[in-house]
Amino acid sequence: MIFAVDVANLDKIINADPIAITFFIGYMAMFASSIFFFMERGSVEGKWKMSLLVSGLITGIAAVHYFYMRDFYLQTGQSPTAFRYVDWTLTVPLMCVEFYLLTKPFGAKGSTLFKLIVASAVMLVAGFIGETSGIDNNIMWGVISTVGYVYIVYEVFAGDVAKLAKAANSPAMDRAMFLLKIFITLGWSIYPIGYMVLPGNLLSGAFEVSSIDLFYNLADAINKIGFGLVIYSVAIAETAKAKAAA
């Protein structure tokens, strides 16, 4: 049986609301990507299987949250801030784990992973407090959140991750790091820009706050799926190299 509310929500997705459409597309795209990464674990060498497992977990967790965020948005018309931060709190540290796993075959240490996770936690906790504590505090918490983000950028461009990737002497790793740097700087930049559009912040009034979800949804799909595909490309290339050398 199809209820009237389901028909109304379906009409929103198909015809009327671009934000609702991106919630739906984001859910389907990340669900499909999760299946792909889990299935492809059998195609790579043992030391890369964990990397693809984490890629599948990132997109799988995001798919579950997008399922609930889509329903929340359709029912209320409001931004699902709490759901979104729960999603990011789980998936962003896992993306940091991916940096560690990517460089682990070339000597990465647990201390690098610890620093990346702490930086991501600072970024996310401060961002959530800033978004929910009112306009009087959001700039201060935004600055604190940015410190965590800048540290992750530093690690990828000049820190342990960058040094290990350079020492790997792998063309596949070089290509992957180039793409991951683009994701970290251009792809992830959408999130602080969206934060700064909030009332009372530095870009307040630059565009409608209601359209932030549109940008966040597109950024999430591109960043999380793209991140996983970059890891997958390295895993496939390194597996082929190992087989050729055997």
pLDDT at 14 over 70: no
Q: How many CB atoms lie within 10 A of CB 118?
A: 14
**pTM (2 decimals)?**
0.87
- Average pLDDT in the 107-132 region? 90
Predicted local distance difference test score (pLDDT) of residue 4: 47
Q: Rounded mean pLDDT of 152-163? A: 90
List the domain range (segments joined by +) for residue 13.
4-245
Q: Which CA distances in Å does 178 have to 104, 170, 182, 227, 240?
A: 18, 12, 7, 12, 21
| Tokens at 210, concatenated | 């209601």
> pLDDT value at position 15?
57
pLDDT tens per residue across span 172-208: 888 888 888 888 888 888 888 888 887 777 777 767 7
Proportion of the chain above pLDDT 70, given as a percent: 91
Do 51 and 231 touch, CB atoms closer than 8 A? yes
pLDDT tens for residues 36-56?
999 999 999 888 999 999 999
Report pLDDT digits (tens) over 204-216.
Answer: 776 776 678 888 8
Say what the alpha-carbon torsion angle 166, 227, 113, 161 is, to the nearest 10 degrees.
Answer: 10
Round to whole Å and give the CA distance between 220 and 211. 14
Which CATH number is 110's domain given?
1.20.1070.10
What's the total number of domains in the chain?
A: 1
Q: Stretch 135-162: mean pLDDT, rounded?
A: 89
